[in-house]
Chain A
Amino acid sequence: MGMNAREKFVSALKFKRPDGVPFPCLFYGFHPETVRRWQREGLPRDVHLVKHLGLERCDLIPVNVGPFPHYEPAELEEMEEWRLGMDRSMLVKVKEGIEAVEERFPIKDSASCKAFSKMLNPSSPARYPRFWDDYVRMARDRNYPLGVYVGSPLSWLTEWIGLEGLASNLENDPPWIEGFADSIASFVASTLARALRDVSLDFALFMEPRAYRLIQKLNGDRLDALAKRTYGPIASWVKGMGVDLVGVQASGYVSRLLDIWVGAGMNFMSLEAVGGSDVEQLRERFANKVAFVGNVDQRALAWSKRDIAEEVRRKMTSFELGGFIPAPDHTIMPDVSWENFRYYMDLVKGH
């Protein structure tokens, strides 16, 4: 009998040999417009896309790690051109719903930080599903990889304080920013302590969609210090709780952060090839210390079949070397045709 999805996923990331390519659905994202395009091009409309494509189950446990309870989203003011609205964690001025052009952040100083921190109460009952014990029972004998989201420290700081605010406060009043960073780490660990005691998990995952923005804004030492105060304690606590695979999923050009992440104990990464993080180069940089997920340049899937075949050939060579699970490096955008995506999947499956 062949390996199940869980065994394939874990063995690939631990540089062992899975008996086939893992297809963890957690690392595949599809833009809604892409799905509509594909339905026009032949994708049946009454199927689960994930199942139809032959992807495999890969979940994160449903524990709410983040500000909770949220502010009530509210429309504050609406004019012809501008809409002023408050989303779940910040005040945003939106131009006709297209993009935020001015943002006001909920944390400005230590006083507002204290108020905001009320939403970081690890003991809020609804952080866990109501019937957690039942969930634990279900997760016990699973045959698919199950992970835990362990926060987005740098992206959170960017979202809650803003780039400018973070940079100026780090210059003028570093102790409270550093103290807040420490409290983020202890909040994540306290929130998840029960989950990690109850469920034997396969991986832990940081998500950093906006960390790349900090690289330009903060000087290297400040960035290092902030990162060490957050990732380090969380990653070592998670490993101490028996979760060997600790990774990060990040967008953009994050080369400057990779050493910090590896230094904090992370051993797999899901990075965008388009952000200058091609797996072939990274493999040389980190030898066999770091595994990778994703990294198939999703832009290539919109080009010719020859381009797709070339991208698959390169990435499958990496797969053969171990420590790599190929998957698109970004949400599949609507410029990828159904035919192209099926061609890509067929090539990978046929490998």
Chain B
Amino acid sequence: MNARERFEETFAFGHPDRAFLMPHWFWPSAISRWHGEGLPRDVHIDEFFGFDRYEVAPINLGLLPSFDYEVYFENEEYKTYRRGDGCVAKEFKRRPEMSMPQWLDFPLKTRSNWENDFLPRLDPQSQARYPLWWDDYVRWVQDRDYPLGVSAGSFYGWIRNWMSLERLSKMIYEDPEFIRDIANYIADFVIGTIRPAVEDIKPDFALMWEDMAMKTGPLISPKKFKELMIPACRSVNDFLHANGVDIILLDSDGFVDPLIPMWLDAGVTGVYPMEVAAGENVAALREKYGRKLAMFGGVDKRVLAGSKEGIERHLLEEIKLAWMVLQGGYTSSVDHAVPPDVSFDNFMFYWNLVRKVIEDPSRFLNGGVKEG
């Protein structure tokens, strides 16, 4: 099977020759650490680990043009600046990836600045949303042997990023129609933007992004989410399904259990990365949702920084990797970017074990084989 067929068989609960080996996401500082621990510096990381090929069409669904980058203040330690998404952030200058920025201001405050500052930047017809030589790209991907996806937007996450969690949380009650209008516009914008791509390249899957939950649950009342944002999400999914895109995967950190039934009802078919620190467990979700919910992720990044015995126990017993792989609709990956406290040796142990389980899951059922 090629990677394209394997991806479809994996996430549509079919019969892959083996589960798809999903590319992982690494902190740059983890890679720097690993260069000192044996990872060659002149290789393609994805190739080195043997991840299957997986790509997303380079279509720009962001604010276009972006807001002007502007530095308001800087000293040796930090800078305060306006980002391309209009947010004003205060950020450490050295190793900014090691900490969250402090958010000082957000660009979306009122209906009038939605109309003046955002609608002109969310024009599906903007030429530069598509790559420069799109026709060549289409020709290139026509007979591909790997899965190619398309981004399909965000109905809570984008609005929260533009507006701030606090303002959005209040606005949901003070002016729900405004929020509904934004979500509906986003749906029209996403469909309008990706329609030529969907027709030209026949994507194998679509990706949505929300990051809309914290450790204990969603950042919005599920009732309000269903009322204000799910209709928009559904209309994009209806468009995708009607055009043959039947694998729709949604990315959200945090404890997302209360949201899953709504997403499934709206046409989403899978969720990732299933954050263990927030209480997610892929095996438990599989018990609950069966073949209705595809997933990838669910491997606790914190466990990878511990002992090899712990890694093995986590994979084989806690998330029941072999059983999950045999069930289908799942493949292993870490529940966020792999952080720099994970050694190269540990990551190799984790990944080699995953590959062995994926090659022959039945051998690892019921604790049949121990690697440690």
B128 touches A69 (CB 8 A): no
B42 touches A48 (CB 8 A): no
Instruction: Choose, from A125-133, A211-219, A250-258, the stretch at the interface.
Output: A125-133
A48 touches B132 (CB 8 A): yes
Please give me the residue from chain B that is nearest to A78 by CB atom.
B76
Q: Quick one: CB contact mask for B43-78 with A, threshold 8 Å, 1 for yes?
A: 110110000010000000000110000000000100
Give the residues in chain A near B144, CB-CB below 8 Å: 134
**Interface status of A314 (Cβ within 8 A of chain B):** no
Please give me the residue from chain B that is nearest to A59 by CB atom.
B133
B47 touches A125 (CB 8 A): yes
How far is it, in angstroms, between the C-alpha of A137 and the C-alpha of B139 when the chains are bound? 10
B128 touches A138 (CB 8 A): no
Please give me the residue from chain A that is nearest to B131 by CB atom.
A48
**Interface status of A101 (Cβ within 8 A of chain B):** no
Minimum C-beta distance from A55 to chain B (A): 10
What's the dominant secondary structure at chain B's contact region? loop
B140 touches A69 (CB 8 A): no
Q: Quick one: CB contact mask for A21-57 with B, threshold 8 Å, 1 for yes?
A: 0000000000000000001000011111011100001
A125 in contact with B140 given A46-B65, A47-B127, A131-B53 (CB within 8 Å): no
Most buried by A among B42, B65, B123, B136: B42
Give the residues in chain B near A50, CB-CB below 8 Å: 132
| Interface size, A (range) | 20 to 34
B139 touches A138 (CB 8 A): yes
Contact of A48 among B47, B65, B128, B136 (CB under 8 A): B128
**Interface status of B110 (Cβ within 8 A of chain A):** no
Please give me the residue from chain B that is nearest to A121 by CB atom.
B42
B42 touches A69 (CB 8 A): yes
Give the residues in chain A near B65, CB-CB below 8 Å: 39, 45-46
B126 touches A46 (CB 8 A): yes
**Interface status of A221 (Cβ within 8 A of chain B):** no
A130 touches B46 (CB 8 A): yes
A51 touches B139 (CB 8 A): no
A72 in contact with B136 given A45-B65, A47-B127 (CB within 8 Å): no
B128 touches A126 (CB 8 A): no
Minimum C-beta distance from A57 to chain B (A): 5
Give the residues in chain A near B83, CB-CB below 8 Å: none
Give the residues in chain B near A47, CB-CB below 8 Å: 126-128
How far is it, in angstroms, between the C-alpha of A124 and the C-alpha of B133 when the chains are bound? 29
Tell me the chain B residues, 129-145 only, with Cβ under 8 Å from chain A.
129, 132-133, 136, 139-140, 144
A51 touches B127 (CB 8 A): yes
Give the residues in chain B near A141, CB-CB below 8 Å: 139
Minimum C-beta distance from A21 to chain B (A): 20
**Interface status of A341 (Cβ within 8 A of chain B):** no
A124 in contact with B76 given A46-B65, A131-B53 (CB within 8 Å): no
A130 touches B47 (CB 8 A): yes
B42 touches A46 (CB 8 A): no
**Interface status of A289 (Cβ within 8 A of chain B):** no
Give the residues in chain B near A69, CB-CB below 8 Å: 41-42
Minimum C-beta distance from B137 to chain A (A): 9
B123 touches A46 (CB 8 A): yes
What's the dominant secondary structure at chain A's contact region? loop
**Interface status of A142 (Cβ within 8 A of chain B):** yes
| Interface size, B (range) | 20 to 34
**Interface status of A15 (Cβ within 8 A of chain B):** no
Q: Quick one: CB contact mask for A257-290 with B, threshold 8 Å, 1 for yes?
A: 0000000000000000000000000000000000
**Interface status of A237 (Cβ within 8 A of chain B):** no
B32 touches A72 (CB 8 A): yes
A130 touches B44 (CB 8 A): yes
Give the residues in chain A near B132, CB-CB below 8 Å: 48, 50-51, 57
How far is it, in angstroms, between the C-alpha of A141 and the C-alpha of B123 when the chains are bound? 33
How far is it, in angstroms, between the C-alpha of A51 and the C-alpha of B135 when the chains are bound? 13
How far is it, in angstroms, between the C-alpha of A45 and the C-alpha of B66 when the chains are bound? 9
Q: Quick one: CB contact mask for A84-120 with B, threshold 8 Å, 1 for yes?
A: 0000000000000000000000000000000000000
Minimum C-beta distance from B53 to chain A (A): 7
Give the residues in chain B near A48, CB-CB below 8 Å: 127-128, 132
Please give me the residue from chain A that is nearest to B133 by CB atom.
A57
Contact of A138 among B46, B76, B126, B140 (CB under 8 A): B140
Give the residues in chain A near B44, CB-CB below 8 Å: 125-126, 130
Minimum C-beta distance from A83 to chain B (A): 11
How far is it, in angstroms, between the C-alpha of A54 and the C-alpha of B6 when the chains are bound? 41
How far is it, in angstroms, between the C-alpha of A121 and the C-alpha of B126 when the chains are bound? 43
Minimum C-beta distance from A338 to chain B (A): 16
Tell me the chain B residues, 56-106 only, with Cβ under 8 Å from chain A.
64-65, 76
A46 touches B64 (CB 8 A): yes
Please give me the residue from chain A that is nearest to B144 by CB atom.
A134
Please give me the residue from chain A that is nearest to B140 by CB atom.
A138
B136 touches A138 (CB 8 A): yes
A142 touches B136 (CB 8 A): yes
A125 in contact with B127 given A130-B47, A138-B140 (CB within 8 Å): no
**Interface status of A68 (Cβ within 8 A of chain B):** yes
Give the residues in chain A near B43, CB-CB below 8 Å: 124-126
Minimum C-beta distance from A286 to chain B (A): 34
How far is it, in angstroms, between the C-alpha of A153 and the C-alpha of B249 when the chains are bound? 49
How far is it, in angstroms, between the C-alpha of A130 and the C-alpha of B65 when the chains are bound? 31
How far is it, in angstroms, between the C-alpha of A204 and the C-alpha of B133 when the chains are bound? 22
Minimum C-beta distance from B216 to chain A (A): 40
A46 touches B128 (CB 8 A): yes
How far is it, in angstroms, between the C-alpha of A121 and the C-alpha of B40 when the chains are bound? 13
Give the residues in chain A near B46, CB-CB below 8 Å: 130
How far is it, in angstroms, between the C-alpha of A69 and the C-alpha of B144 when the chains are bound? 30
Please give me the residue from chain A that is nearest to B64 by CB atom.
A46
Tell me the chain A residues, 55-81 only, with Cβ under 8 Å from chain B.
57, 68-69, 72, 78
Give the residues in chain B near A52, CB-CB below 8 Å: 127
Give the residues in chain A near B76, CB-CB below 8 Å: 78
Minimum C-beta distance from B147 to chain A (A): 13
How far is it, in angstroms, between the C-alpha of A102 and the C-alpha of B371 when the chains are bound? 56
13 A-B pairs within 8 Å (CB atoms) are namely: A39-B65, A46-B123, A46-B127, A46-B128, A52-B127, A57-B133, A69-B41, A78-B76, A124-B42, A130-B53, A134-B140, A138-B136, A142-B136
List 8 tightest A-B contacts by C-beta distance, closest first. A46-B126, A124-B42, A45-B65, A69-B41, A138-B140, A130-B44, A47-B127, A69-B42
Additional A-B contact list (7), CB under 8 Å, known A39-B65, A68-B42, A134-B144 = A46-B128, A50-B132, A69-B42, A125-B47, A130-B44, A130-B47, A144-B133
